[in-house]
């Protein structure tokens, strides 16, 4: 009987094992058909599945097509494949004009465009604009340094130092001396120490000849390659003893020079006055110095500059004060000439002041007394040559 009970127990145990093994698969198959027990919330023994929403990635929209290319411009060919060019030459003349009172040598400010009248070869020109220019200067100190007289050298040195003391930081100065030849002591520089050292070196002269024509011609030729307005401060007696050039060629060179103004200061005036009072200068020697003064004055007048012949050293500050006023404060007139021919000819120009009715302008001081004045400008210019 014990054996039969044991066999029954084993059979029951086997049935339970088989049922436990295959129960999940049977329940999984019955999942689609919901039973009343499941509808009442009976827990399901099968595996859990994710019944959440399905997320789909949004498809990328296709990129916008690029804008269409601009249509090509129509090309028009010249008839017969010929190339045409147009050139219009409209000459413009700029004149540097200075208006100075004769008595005080002061610059006259406040003048307007209607006050200026420009006459070119006898024809009145229409002035386009008038302005006052105050700019740094570019100048050459051309000094006569020859073994002829201590008084001449002393006057030259004093005048050069007086001009040096008026220089400003932006001014460019070159120092050149001449006797039988031309000597460049320093090229253009705005270093005042270099200029001072050059003037300090003028101690022992070489030759006694004073070839002012050759020296001035060479200086004009060199600075003509520099753009803009240039000035030459010529300090000396003006006597020429051994130049290869004649006065006529020198005057032609001065007339042809563009944008260059010469200021000349004579030396030896005091010692010559003493010699004249004592009868020391003969007729021919006196005429020689008078001709030299006239040459210096002509060089200045032809280029719109000024000439001075001071007797005393005390007059030098006033001389260079006037030169500075003339250089740094001047009117710049612009006009279109009626003669537009580019023939290289010389155009003679005259500048004068007029009132509102076209009559000569009259000036007077605070007390109503008339004031005399001078209009300083170069006497003409050379027209351009045609450029092919």
Q: For position 60, what pLDDT does the model report?
A: 55
Q: For position 262, what pLDDT does the model report?
A: 93
Q: For position 252, what pLDDT does the model report?
A: 92
Q: For position 42, what pLDDT does the model report?
A: 45
> Which segment of 33-47, 210-224, 237-251 scores lowest on mean pLDDT?
33-47
Q: For position 348, what pLDDT does the model report?
A: 94
> Which segment of 60-69, 110-119, 335-344 scores lowest on mean pLDDT?
60-69
- The CATH 3.40.50.410 portion of the chain extends over 135-328
Q: What is the model's pTM?
A: 0.61
Indicate whether 3 pLDDT > 70: no
Residue 372 — very low, low, confident or very high, per pLDDT cuts 50/70/90? very high
Higher pLDDT, 197 or 67: 197
Q: For position 366, what pLDDT does the model report?
A: 84
Tell me how far apart the alpha carbons of residues 303 and 376 are, in angstroms, rounded to a whole number.
Answer: 9
Residue 267 — very low, low, confident or very high, per pLDDT cuts 50/70/90? very high
Tell me how far apart the alpha carbons of residues 212 and 253 are, in angstroms, rounded to a whole number.
Answer: 13
Average pLDDT over residues 23-40: 45
Indicate whether 37 pLDDT > 50: no
Average pLDDT over residues 36-61: 48
The angle that helices 212-223 and 247-256 make with each other, rounded to 10 degrees, is 20
Average pLDDT over residues 86-92: 63
Tell me how far apart the alpha carbons of residues 175 and 173 are, in angstroms, rounded to a whole number.
Answer: 7
Indicate whether 86 pLDDT > 60: no
Q: For position 145, what pLDDT does the model report?
A: 93
Higher pLDDT, 41 or 307: 307
Higher pLDDT, 106 or 205: 205
Q: For position 187, what pLDDT does the model report?
A: 94
Q: For position 80, what pLDDT does the model report?
A: 59
> Which segment of 19-28, 132-141, 290-299, 344-353 scores lowest on mean pLDDT?
19-28
Q: Residue 313's closest CA among 184, 162, 205, 207? A: 162
Output the CATH code of domain 87-134+330-388.
2.60.40
- The CATH 2.60.40 portion of the chain extends over 87-134+330-388
Which residues make Cβ contacts (< 8 Å) with residue 336, sequence separation at least 6? 90, 91, 92, 93, 125, 126, 128
Indicate whether 350 pLDDT > 90: yes
In tens, the pLDDT along 49-76 reads 455 554 545 555 555 666 666 666 555 5
Per-residue burial over 109-128, b if 16 or more Cβ lie within 10 Å, else e, is eeeeeebbbbebeeeebebe
Residue 11 — very low, low, confident or very high, per pLDDT cuts 50/70/90? low
Average pLDDT over residues 225-249: 90
**Mean pLDDT, all residues of the chain:** 80
> Which segment of 43-52, 131-140, 250-259 scores lowest on mean pLDDT?
43-52
Higher pLDDT, 3 or 304: 304
Higher pLDDT, 259 or 231: 231
The CATH number corresponding to 135-328 among 1.10.10.10, 3.40.50.410, 3.40.250.10, 1.10.3720.10 equals: 3.40.50.410
Which residues make Cβ contacts (< 8 Å) with residue 198, sequence separation at least 6? 175, 185, 186
- Per DSSP, the residues of 33-75 read S--HHHHTTPPP-S-----SPPP-PPPPPPPPPPPPPPPPPPP
- Asked whether the beta carbons of 138 and 229 are under 8 A apart, the reply is yes
Q: For position 204, what pLDDT does the model report?
A: 85
């Amino acid at each position: 009987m014990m054996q039969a009970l044991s066999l029954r127990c084993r059979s029951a145990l086997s049935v339970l094992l088989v049922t436990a093994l295959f129960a999940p698969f049977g329940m999984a198959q019955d999942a689609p058909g919901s039973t009343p027990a499941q509808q009442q919330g009976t827990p399901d023994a099968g595996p859990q599945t994710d019944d959440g929403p399905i997320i789909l990635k949004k498809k990328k929209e296709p990129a916008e097509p690029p804008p269409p290319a601009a249509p090509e411009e129509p090309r028009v060919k010249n008839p017969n494949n010929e190339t045409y060019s147009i050139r219009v030459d409209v000459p413009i003349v700029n004149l540097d004009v200075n208006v100075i009172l004769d008595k005080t040598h002061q610059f006259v400010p406040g003048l307007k465009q209607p006050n200026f009248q420009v006459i070119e070869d006898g024809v009145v020109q229409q002035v386009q604009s008038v302005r006052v220019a105050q700019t740094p200067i570019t100048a050459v100190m051309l000094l006569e340094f020859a073994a002829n007289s201590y008084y001449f050298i002393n006057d030259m040195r004093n005048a050069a130092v007086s001009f040096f003391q008026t220089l400003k930081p932006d001014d460019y100065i070159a120092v050149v001396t001449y006797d039988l030849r031309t000597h460049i002591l320093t090229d253009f520089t705005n270093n005042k120490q270099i200029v001072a050292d050059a003037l300090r070196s003028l101690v022992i002269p070489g030759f006694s000849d004073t070839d002012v024509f050759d020296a001035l011609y060479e200086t004009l030729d060199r600075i003509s390659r520099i753009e803009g307005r240039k000035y030459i401060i010529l300090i000396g007696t003006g006597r020429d003893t051994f130049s290869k050039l004649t006065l006529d060629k020198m005057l032609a060179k001065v007339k042809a020079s563009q944008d260059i103004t010469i200021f000349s200061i004579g030396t030896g005036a005091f010692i010559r006055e003493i010699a004249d009072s004592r009868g020391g200068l003969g007729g021919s020697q006196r005429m020689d110095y008078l001709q030299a003064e006239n040459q210096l004055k002509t060089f200045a007048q032809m280029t719109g500059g000024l000439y001075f012949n001071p007797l005393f050293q005390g007059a030098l500050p006033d001389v260079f004060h006037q030169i500075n006023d003339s250089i740094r404060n001047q009117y710049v007139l612009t006009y279109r000439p009626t003669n537009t021919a580019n023939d290289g000819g010389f155009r003679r120009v005259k500048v004068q002041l007029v009132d509102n009715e076209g009559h000569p302008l009259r000036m007077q001081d605070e007390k109503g007394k008339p004031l005399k004045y001078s209009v300083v400008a170069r006497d003409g210019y050379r027209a351009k040559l045609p450029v092919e």
